[in-house]
Structure 1
């Protein structure tokens, strides 16, 4: 009986440890050379600048949209304007985009995993 409880408890601990990070999580080098960190926050992924002129500033929140695609909001820290955002992960590159006017005008960057 105690052996079964022990095995059951061990199985629960192993199952909890199997949870893997989403591929978008981690540190990224932006086109400006700053480091951005993408980390889980309240069911989403928050993007915070860790270096550069705007270090410490949260610049976005994304949600997984399937097949290494993400959607949400992204802020241009220099202009302090927020746009509809999207991200596509391919290997160690993250193509980030921000759009206005329903996607009529967009600006894209490619970030590299550090």
Structure 2
């Protein structure tokens, strides 16, 4: 019985460590241009919508994933072109990257508000 309880406690403790490692992408983020982007859950993915700035109201991305890594599509609002994209959360920073052919990439680091 004590072994079973000890094993159960060890499993629960390790699972709580996994949960703590996950960093949610949802929330409001300040982009490098100074605009605010909201990332919200939408149909099993996460939609990226600009809330302030010249392109306020425009959805500029849709990412899927969990933990710290997300992939999907990112749209450059200036030229309205969509690229293969990714987002990587590290604390209060979000590194967003858009690529053409996985070779030509541009990235920005956003800050959680």
Unmatched segments (≥5 aa) in structure 1: 1-21
CA distance in 2, matches of 1:113, 1:67: 16
Q: SS of 1:39's equivalent?
A: strand
Q: What TM-score do the two structures reach when normalised by structure 1? A: 0.78
CA distance in 2, matches of 1:94, 1:55: 20
CA distance in 1, matches of 2:32, 2:108: 7
CA distance in 1, matches of 2:61, 2:24: 17
- The two structures, once aligned, show a CA RMSD in angstroms of 1.0
Say whether residues 1:112 and 2:80 are aligned partners.
no
Q: CA deviation at 1:67?
A: 3.9
Unmatched segments (≥5 aa) in structure 2: 1-22
Which runs of structure 1 show a deviation greater than 4 angstroms over 4 or more consecutive aligned residues? Answer: none
Q: What TM-score do the two structures reach when normalised by structure 2? A: 0.78
Report what 1:79 is aligned to.
Answer: 79
